[in-house]
Amino acid sequence: MNAPTVLVLCASRLGHARRVAEQILAAGGGCAAEWQDLLAGPPQPTRPLAEYERILVVASVRYGRFPLSLQRFVLLHHAELTAANAALVGVCLVARKPGKQDAAGNAYLRHLLQRTGWQPRHCIAVAGELRMPAYALWQRYMLQLIMRLTGSPVSRDTVHDYTDWPALSRWASAYWQQA
């Protein structure tokens, strides 16, 4: 068995960001991958970052922020990540709106990149999934208010996948075709 050539750093609280990462990997023809969970603590890759052919970072935004563990990892490995063929995929509901899929239009991506100074070769924001029943009552009320203010009213029982899967597949295909 070949050693992994892709390092996947994933932060997925309810599983949607992991599905996004799996979709991107599938577009790569089933390449070998080493998975690291950013929410389980500091990632511990099995080899130096420079030895991976690609590094795929897929992280969900929660309460307006990427996980602190992602920011710490990027700051600690800034030079290696900048030199690597790395991609950052942010999963957030705001990306459901036109113009919010890149760092120029997505405040969450822009904020992370500004705070860390990282400029990944590939960067995209993908709309996530809203699973209202998974949240506590007070969180559902907050989410309802936010969604109403942004023009997308929802009920407390809403489960809706906002991800544009065909667009993600096109992006992933282009990502794998680039060196």
**Which part of the chain is CATH 3.40.50.360?**
6-128+163-177
Res. 155 pLDDT band, cuts 50 70 90: confident
What pLDDT score does 178 carry? 85
Q: Note if the pTM is more than 0.85.
A: yes
Amino acid identity, position 54? R
End-to-end Cα separation, the chain, in angstroms = 24
Res. 15 pLDDT band, cuts 50 70 90: very high
**CATH fold for the domain made of 6-128+163-177:** Rossmann fold (3.40.50)
Chain centroid offset of residue 164 CA: 14
Give the three-state DSSP class for 14: coil
